[in-house]
Amino acid sequence: MTTNQQLKPITVERNKNLYIGGCKMEDLAEKYGTPLYVIDEKTLRSVCHDYKNAFKKYPHTKMMYASKALCTSAVSKILDSEGFGFDTVSIGEIYTILKSGISLEKVLFNGNNKTEEELDFAIKNGIGRISVDNFAEVDLISKVGGKYNTNVDVLLRITPGIECHTHEYIQTGQLDSKFGFDLSQTDEVIKKITTEHQNIRIRGLHAHIGSQIFEPQCFHDEIDVLIQEISRIEEKFGIKLDEINIGGGLGVKYTEKDMPPSINEVADVIIASLEKHIEKYNTEPPMLYIEPGRSIISTSGVTLYTIGSMKQVPNMTKYVTVDGGMADNPRPSMYQAEYEAEIANDISNRIEEKVTIAGRFCESGDILIKNIVLPKPETGDILCVYNTGAYNYSMASNYNRVEKSAMVLVNNSQSDIIVNRETLDDLISHDVIPDRLK
């Protein structure tokens, strides 16, 4: 079993009260307030080690953390110390990494509508790679590169005709996507770059085939497409591409019924596919970029809430309301995502009951967990929701004009704040009242 197959952080202990990273969750809630994001450092580093160990058999591998899952300065420093690079999708993510003291040589800039301002900042500060997504972007990259009299290393993002989401595996001739070049367009973009833009250097191909992937076979087929295309490009254009980026997307265990493949299983499929298709298409072993995001950070994160009001609908649902909800975790309302949770404080001798965990926001759809069995909740209890490290804080909002939550890092019985809780003054800090309204 690797870390992505675990529902809870690896340091979870229960001794009447719930402990993570040696810290009592009830104490953290009292000290920092709730809702509170908690990141377990040991779990985060453990999954990094899982990835590095799994891919040792293919030494030409670079791990790139997909920052969109959770991008903070402290998390970036941890990933950097573990030897990971970064896949970024905005100037904000790039800026966060740069200001954390990390060289942008380790960073890839991805996305389907990069602005000139973003490209200027990235190229000026020495971005390692840019994933080119469309024809207009080619001209823009060349223009900005010319401004700084520098060559820009790029990957061409292609749509390989493979889409893989959880248990659904679809293979089509042409994938309708807003991202990347269709395979029928790669010759055109290569001709455009080689004839019009001498300051752009094509280093390889980039593809991404899905999210929360449970079926490793789709990585095998993706590599087949990428290696075949590299071979074809070399034969037709005489251009030797030596890098492939296969994206990320490996699934995690949100609930007990989820059975994602292990990191080792996925690595074995990827490496076997590389060996097979390198030989089949007679190419040199390329540098392999992997971009895990969710599977790196998700399991290490939990969210703590304080239970408030309750409502029993006669002969129907019992609603237990917490002091957060869709603003700090929009995934249940957006994607019908499911989570597991438990009460963090002492629940000795309580009988169990089935309840629905509701959020505090002014939406009927603000439901975090439906029909969960818990020891009978009481007002003031601390609820711990598991596997919230990915796409919770990064998708959080100020809906209902509520302050964004704080985040702490726990390790060896020590807790450190890594994101301050927003204040009411923070909420209005960008508001402006025109003089004519005063």
Which sequence positions are flagged as catalytic? Answer: 362
Distance, in Å, from the CA atom of 160 to the CA atom of 206, rounded to the nearest integer, reads 9
Q: Say how far apart CA 105 and CA 150 lie, in whole Å.
A: 14
Q: How far apart are CA 95 and CA 248, in angstroms?
A: 22
> In angstroms, how far is the first alpha carbon of the chain from the final one?
63
> How distant is the alpha carbon of residue 413 from its chain centre?
26
405 vs 8, 14, 104, 295, CA distance in Å? 21, 25, 29, 22
- Count the neighbouring beta carbons within 10 Å of the beta carbon of residue 84: 23
Nearest-angstrom CA–CA distance, 429 and 431: 6
Rg (CA), the chain: 23
Q: What are phi and psi of 315, to 5 degrees?
A: 65, 15
DSSP 153-167: EEEEEEE-SEEEEBT
Cβ burial 419-432 (10 Å sphere, 16+ → b, else e): bebbeeeeeeeeee
